[in-house]
Amino acid sequence: MTVYEVLKRDKYVKGQARIRDGHLHLQVSGPEYNREYGASVDFLVDSEVAEWLSENVPHEFYSLAGTGAKYFGIQFRPFEVGDEYGNRLYIFHFQVPAPVAGNRKWGLSFNAVTSSPGEAVKFVGYLVSNLADLDTRVSLNC
């Protein structure tokens, strides 16, 4: 079964994120993956996306790690793609609501990849294995 079939077209996973060192730093509350609270994964984003998110999105949520850092709400889902060698690769589609229109009237929609393809494969495995325990309600008004 593909990731697309598991998550279905209308399901997103809810998380929170912030821009840190030019990367999208994502936190997901759920069963332990690489943090006690669930998962923490960094994504590569264009500098324009990073700047827009930093300047236009309210950071309303505190870090799940208890650091006091502030995060914004985000929802995402992975898409499986292949390369010319038949390897499985994953692109993640993100949606972020904001009071200012980005490329959507409700905020910003964009794609990103993890810093390493191996991390993406492990993270997608975590998402698929723990889907019942993750928040997949599309509740961010996107």
Q: If pLDDT is split at 50, 70 and 90, which confidence band does 142 have? A: low
Q: Which two tokens stand for residue 95?
A: 């949606």
Backbone angles phi, psi at 55, to 5 degrees: -95, -25
Residue spans per domain, the chain: 3-132
Look at residue 79 in the predicted model and tell me its pLDDT: 85
Choose among 104, 111, 17, 98: nearest CA to 55: 98
Q: If pLDDT is split at 50, 70 and 90, which confidence band does 33 have? A: very high
Q: With contact defined as beta carbons under 8 Å apart, do 135 and 12 qualify?
A: no
Q: Is 86 helix (H, G, I), strand (E, B) or coil?
A: coil
How far, in Å, CA of 79 to CA of 77, rounded?
7
**% helix, strand, coil for the chain, step of 5:** 20, 40, 40
Kind and range of the H or E run holding 39: strand 38-44
Q: 118-134, pLDDT tens digit by residue?
A: 888 899 888 888 878 88
How far, in Å, CA of 7 to CA of 21, rounded?
30
Q: 91-102, pLDDT tens digit by residue?
A: 999 999 999 999
Per the rule left: phi > 0, alpha: psi between -120 and 50, beta: everything else, 66 is left
Q: Which two tokens stand for residue 57?
A: 């999105």
* 2-22: average pLDDT: 78
Q: 35-82, pLDDT tens digit by residue?
A: 999 999 999 999 999 999 999 999 999 999 999 999 999 999 888 887
The structure's pTM equals 0.88
